Chains A and B, each alone.
Chain A
Amino acid sequence: MARVTLKNILSKKSNVSPLVLSFIEQMNAHISVEDENGILLCGNTDILAANKHPININDETIGWVKGDEKSIHVAYLLTLLAQREFERKTLGSEVLVLYQEVNMVFDFSDKLAQAIGPVAISQLAVDEAMRLIHSDSGLVVLWDEASMQLQIPATAGAPLFDQEKITSHADLLLRIGLSGQSEIMSDLSSLRDEGIIGPDVHSLIYSALKVKHRIMGAIILAGNKQMQYAASDLKFLTTLALQSSSAIESALLHEKNLKEAREREEAMRRVYEITAKFVPYEFIGSLGHNIITDVKLGDQVEKVVTVLFTDIRDYTSISEQMTPEENFRFVNAYNERMGPIIRKYDGFINQYLGDAIMALFPESAESTLSAAIEMQQNIHEFNISRKVKQLPPIKMGIGMHTGPLIMGITGDKDRLDATTISDAVNTASRIESLTKYYKVRILLSEITLQQIQHPEIFHLRYLGKVQVKGKQSSIGIHECFSSDSEDQIIKKEKTLPAFNEGMYHYLNKSFQNAVKAFEAITAINPADLTTQFFLDNSRHFLKNGTPDNWSGVVEMANK
């Protein structure tokens, strides 16, 4: 606070200065006013200093009035004015101190709002407390409800406690941390003697961190010198503690919520991971959902897809020679080979049916056929490894058909199931079963073939028409022999014109010509079992005639 000076009171800027000068003049007083250093402020030096009166504020002399007997009145007036000025300044400075406190609290709130997490907030609280209340060391203790232990999330300055001693004398921290009080501890001699606090610690102050009636801990400060904390320090620390408490409380709550949310998310992720293996993500995605838990009863989507069926030929006789465990291992080994190929070509497995797989390809028929070829090639490799183990080779038929399909969720509210409802599924399944009949590896319907933009990249043969039992319309089917051995592909391509000619005659009941064409093929390629099949049929019809209603359309048996 700036000192009160007579110079300021008597300066021409001062609003009381004219009053004083007029008072002296009216009184006709012969006086002079000097400051405490004898410097003349008003009046003359040549006056007779018969009287000399000091002007005091709180026992401090700030100047003199010298002169005649009237000088005492002037001194009295100036003392009064100086006193008033002193009071004004004192009040002003006190208000300013209070205002500074308000500003600090505001500042602290600002910083608190930016601190994230109980540790950061505790650190901020103890740092600010150290800055605002002169101390040598400080710390925050918090009671952790989960572990039922006291924790020290933040410290500042010199170590307050002896780390080893404090754990064996936890009662002091417990007493402070759980007291819920705010206090200045001035007699620390016993704590010093016991070595719990450092030998230099002379004064200790703490304030409880609490929300409503729940005590969370305390903020503790300590001073090393022969200093004592004042009541105003305690008031200040309490204010900081109060603000920190609610911030720490919400940070703890937030942390708890976050932890719970993470756990829930983790649980959801695990559920999702597991369910994604049972129900393909593509299926959920095509229902317009992101995660399995969004799927509800009655959800459905209609889409044109290519359905692919695989089946292991004569699986029953293979499985008869295996124990149930071997069976299971075999099916798993098989599925593990097929699954990745299906996914690679943007298909997804709708169902595993023992040794059979039903897969859906929403993207293109071309990729379905590519997948089928790669699956057959994989089986070829599988057989090589089986041969090493002296196991018999396996054969797999693949059939596919394209058509509209409804995928949806059926069941009841407690047990949901992903279901596909489609004619295409039945047809694809039956086309697959025809692979045995025609002795081919891959069969596709003409509908699927029409969807393929570049059929020329595949090796295909037309095998006539088939009809699903109970249905009026028939569909053409084609063999794809792209997965055959290179030798077979060359031979089948070479004999393709003859094969087409044979098929033409065969379907037109011109069996003699058909036999001729097919015989020419089997002469070149006796391994062409499909041609052999048509040759045998042609010979049979040539010898026995055809049934009355024979039109070349093969009726597919119900599965």
Chain B
Amino acid sequence: MEQKILIVDDEPHIRMLIEQTLEELEDDGVEFLTAENGEIALQIIQKEKPQLVFLDVMMPKMNGMEVCRKVKKELQLTDVFIVLLTAKGQELDRQKGNEVGADIYMTKPFDPEAILSKAKQVLGLQ
């Protein structure tokens, strides 16, 4: 089955940066999908069923927490591994992240190496 990673952030440069960070996974046939807000993200998740989602918390329309809750709790898509991205200094979100069912939680500015190794681990590409 083709592996897919969805990158959700309202800031274009963050989307580009994450994609760039994960670029080498393209050689393993991984497909990248992007979304600029929570609503689009939710549609893509339902349609494409990505294995891994990098999900920004602070977004217009539907925030990352809500997307995560819908995916994990309402749609019961427990196979989708969700990494919540939150700004440094907002670590209190961790508690809430656990409540909405996020698998892990990373802070921005993110460590590119940490993001890459996490993606490899989740997709079983190590």
Residues of chain A whose beta carbon lies under 8 Å from any beta carbon of chain B = 1-2, 8, 13, 89, 92-93, 95-96, 99-100, 102-103, 106-107
Given the known interface contacts A2-B23, A2-B24, A2-B27, the answer about A107 and B111 at a Cβ–Cβ threshold of 8 Å is yes
A8-B26, A13-B31 are contacts. A103–B112 as well, Cβ < 8 Å? Answer: yes
- Whether B111 pairs with A103 at a CB distance below 8 angstroms is yes
Measured between beta carbons, the chain A residues less than 8 angstroms from B17 are 92, 95-96, 99
A-B contact pairs, 9 of them (CB 8 A): A2-B24, A92-B19, A95-B17, A95-B20, A96-B21, A99-B17, A100-B112, A102-B109, A107-B111
Q: Interface of B with A (CB < 8 Å)? A: 13, 16-17, 19-21, 23-24, 26-27, 31, 88, 109-112
Give the docked Cα–Cα distance between A168 and B91 (Å). Answer: 52
How far does the alpha carbon of A107 sit from the alpha carbon of B112 in the complex, in Å? 12
Would you give the shortest CB distance from B86 to chain A, in whole angstroms? Answer: 14
Nearest residue, chain A, Cβ from B110: A103
Is the Cβ of B109 less than 8 Å from the Cβ of A106? yes
Cβ–Cβ < 8 Å partners of A93 in chain B: 20
CB B75 to nearest CB in A, in angstroms, measures 26
Chain A hits for B24, CB < 8 A = 2
Contacts A92-B16, A96-B17 given; 20 further ones with Cβ under 8 A?
Answer: A1-B23, A2-B23, A2-B24, A2-B26, A13-B31, A89-B20, A89-B23, A92-B17, A92-B19, A93-B20, A95-B16, A95-B17, A95-B20, A96-B20, A100-B112, A102-B109, A103-B109, A103-B112, A106-B109, A107-B111
**Is B13 a contact partner of A95 (Cβ separation < 8 A)?**
yes
Closest to A106 in B: B109
Is chain A's binding surface mostly helix, strand, loop or mixed? Answer: helix
Query: Closest approach, in angstroms, between the C-beta of A8 and any C-beta of chain B?
Result: 7
In Å, the complex CA distance between A96 and B109 comes to 11
CB neighbours (8 Å) of A1 from chain B are: 23
A106 touches B20 (CB 8 A): no
Which residue of chain B is the closest to A103 with respect to CB atoms?
A: B109
Please measure, in the bound complex, the distance between the C-alpha atom of A100 and the C-alpha atom of B16, giving whole angstroms: 14
* A residues less than 8 Å from B23 (CB atoms): 1-2, 89, 92
Residue of B nearest to A101 (CB): B109
Tell me which residues across on chain B come within 8 A of A96, comparing CB atoms: 17, 20-21, 112
Provide the residues of chain A in CB contact with B13, threshold 8 Å. Answer: 95
Determine the distance from Cα of A92 to Cα of B20 in the docked complex, in whole angstroms: 6
Chain B neighbourhood of A107, CB < 8 A? 111
Contacts of B16 in A (CB 8 A): 92, 95
A13 to chain B, nearest CB (A): 6
Known: A2-B24, A8-B26, A92-B16. A99 touches B109 (CB 8 A): yes
Contacts of B110 in A (CB 8 A): 103
Which residues of chain B are near A92, meaning CB under 8 Å? 16-17, 19-20, 23
Complex Cα gap A317–B44 (Å): 111
Across the interface, B112 reaches (CB within 8 A) one of A8, A13, A89, A99, namely A99
A100 proximity list for chain B (CB < 8 A) = 112
Task: Give every chain B residue within 8 A of A95 (Cβ-Cβ).
Answer: 13, 16-17, 20
What separation, in Å, do the CA atoms of A437 and B15 have in the docked complex?
105
Most buried by A among B17, B88, B109: B109
Q: How far is the CA of A31 from the CA of B5 in the complex (A)?
A: 35
Closest chain A residue to B25, Cβ basis: A2
The residue in chain B whose Cβ has the minimal distance to the Cβ of A110 is B88
User: What is the minimal beta-carbon distance from B108 to any residue of chain A, in angstroms?
Assistant: 9
Q: Are B88 and A106 in contact (CB under 8 A)?
A: yes
A residues within 8 A CB of B26? 2, 8
- In the bound complex, CA of A1 to CA of B88 (Å): 27
Instruction: List the A side residues contacting B21 at CB < 8 Å.
Output: 96
B112 and chain A: residue at smallest CB distance: A100
Q: Which partner residue on chain B sits nearest A3 by CB separation?
A: B27
